[in-house]
Structure formats: structure tokens, C-alpha cells
Amino acid sequence: MDVTRDLEQRTDSPLRVSAPPERFFGYYPGTVAVVTSAHAGERNVMSAGWHAALSIDPPMYGVALGRQRYTYELVAASRAFAVHFLPFERSRAVAAVGSTSRHDGVDKFARFDLCASNGAALDVPILHDAYLAYECRVVALHETGDHDWVVGEVVAVHHLPEAYDERLLLDCHRVHGAVYYGRNRYEALGEGRRVDLTPADVLGDP
Ligand SMILES: Cc1cc2nc3c(=O)[nH]c(=O)nc-3n(C[C@H](O)[C@H](O)[C@H](O)COP(=O)(O)O)c2cc1C
């Protein structure tokens, strides 16, 4: 029996039911993080669209890393990584470090003009182009299909002061954040429609 077809016939929802992996990547747009790591004199950088904040106290951040990534080897060995967010103007670099591998001998920092300093707390490269970066100490590696969910405790935060307004929200008129749609499409934030909802707006009459 075709279960998905059966489900589709039983509902009047406008949504179409299909089996995975059709539209699996439909959750985009979202931000793409840039992950760095270093170990034994080696360092590397790659893109990661799969990332999330996990805890406030202690602050924790997670990233899904394919076990075949060169970066994964560095993270597993050093038990440390950094997560960065880069402005729209650096979208090409974000795409480039996600489509080349250190396994092929590429020094991505040199090739894509990425300057970095050492972390404040950990031996991790911190990219100068970022408006935000977290230094993370690995506290767990959870196997999830073909990736591992790497859980890091955030031990230092780097931010570009002029990128944030008085409410500590990213000011996209000064520093354009970027969202990623998939298939190498990036869009600058700050030009679109925006609303600041009050509690009454949120919880008032529908
Ligand atoms: C937009 C974008 C998002 C990506 N997201 C992830 C991700 O979340 N996890 C992952 O393991 N690889 C992801 N990749 C793929 C890696 O960045 C890519 O395989 C990279 O070449 C790995 O580099 P390395 O082998 O030098 O570590 C993404 C690539 C792009 C372009």
C-alpha cells in the first residue's frame, strides 16, 4: 500500500504529502555558519547550514558535521571548534569553504582570503570577517545518520560592536546578515518587511 498517497487522500490540508527525501531541504532559508578548528599545527574552515543554539546555562551550541569532513577530524582530535556568522558581502567565501576540502590540499584561509587570529580561550581560528563567533569546547559527539551532532560549550564570544543595536539585535542596516535558500542562493537581510511585535500584538485577539 502507498502510505503517503493514502494520507494525502484522507486530509483536506493544502500540503502535499511525499516520502523523504523529496523537499528534504525545504526547511531553508536559514543562516549558514562557518566552522573552524585546529589541531597539531593544522587548521581548517568549512560551512555548516546545520547548526543550533542548545542551552543558555551553560551556553551550548551544536553543529552537524559529516564524519568525512577534514574539519571533523580536527574537531574530534582537538575537542574544540569555533562557529562564525559572516555578512552577506562574504557569501562567496561561505559558499567556497563549503565546496572545497582540505582533504584535497586546499589552504582555504589563503585561497579565499580569510584572515584569522587565535581564539581567546581555545586553540581555534577566529575569522576577522565575522560579526559574531563562538569558541566552543566539545562536550559530546552524537552519531546522527551520516553526520555527528557536535555539542560545544561556548567558552568565549566575539562580536563586532557596530553590528548590534541598543537591544543587542543584529542591525542589518549597518551589517547585512545573510540567509541561504539552498543551491548557492544567498540574500541580504535588512531590506525586507519587518515588524516589532509587542506582547499585546502576540497574545491579543487573533
Ligand atoms: C551552504 C552549505 C552548507 C553546508 N552545511 C554543512 C553542514 O551543516 N554539515 C556538514 O558536515 N557539511 C556541510 N556542508 C559541506 C561542507 O562545508 C563541505 O563538505 C566542505 O568541503 C568540508 O570541508 P573540509 O573537508 O575541508 O572540512 C555545507 C556546504 C555548504 C556549501
DSSP string for 65-101: EETTSHHHHHHHHHSEEEEEE--GGGHHHHHHHTS--
Residue 21: inside a domain: no
Q: How far apart are CA 69 and CA 84, in angstroms?
A: 17
Q: How confident is the model at residue 191 (pLDDT cuts 50, 70, 90)?
A: confident
Q: Find the 99 Cα to ligand 1 centroid distance in Å.
A: 7
Q: Find the 163 Cα to ligand 1 centroid distance in Å.
A: 26
Give the residue numbers spanning the domain of 187.
27-203
Q: Is residue 51 scored above 80 in pLDDT?
A: yes
Q: Whose CA is nearest to atom 23 of ligand 1?
A: 101
Q: Whose CA is nearest to atom 30 of ligand 1?
A: 98
Q: How far apart are CA 16 and CA 7, in angstroms?
A: 10
- Determine the atom of ligand 1 nearest the C-alpha atom of 100: 21
Q: Is residue 8 scored above 80 in pLDDT?
A: no
How many CB atoms are closer than 10 A to CB 194?
Answer: 8
Residue 3: inside a domain: no
- Ligand 1: list residues with CB < 6 Å: 32, 44, 46-50, 64-66, 69-71, 95, 98-103, 147, 180
0.85 exceeded by pTM: yes
Q: Is residue 3 scored above 80 in pLDDT?
A: no
Domain tally for the chain? 1
Rounded to an integer, the average pLDDT of 43-57 is 98
CATH number at residue 95: 2.30.110.10
Rounded to an integer, the average pLDDT of 16-34 is 94
Q: Is residue 2 scored above 70 in pLDDT?
A: no
CA distances from 11 to 2, 5, 82, 145 (A): 15, 10, 45, 31
CA distances from 65 to 49, 117, 144, 190 (A): 10, 23, 10, 30
- Determine the atom of ligand 1 nearest the C-alpha atom of 103: 25
- Determine the atom of ligand 1 nearest the C-alpha atom of 51: 8
The pair phi, psi for residue 190, each rounded to 5°, is 120, -15
Residue 125: inside a domain: yes
Q: Is residue 9 scored above 60 in pLDDT?
A: no
Residue 184: inside a domain: yes
Q: Whose CA is nearest to atom 7 of ligand 1?
A: 48
Residue 7: inside a domain: no
Q: How far apart are CA 103 and CA 180, in angstroms?
A: 25
Residue 39: inside a domain: yes
**Cell 542596516 belongs to which residue?**
173
Residue 4: inside a domain: no
Q: Whose CA is nearest to atom 4 of ligand 1?
A: 48
**What pLDDT, in 10s, does the model give residues 76-124?**
999 999 999 999 999 999 999 999 999 999 999 999 999 999 999 999 9
Rounded to an integer, the average pLDDT of 159-169 is 97
Whether residue 139 contacts residue 152, with contact meaning beta carbons closer than 8 Å, is answered with yes
Give the model's pLDDT for residue 123. 98
Q: Are strands 125-127 and 116-118 parallel, antiparallel or unpaired?
A: antiparallel
Residue 171: inside a domain: yes
3-class DSSP state for residue 137?
strand
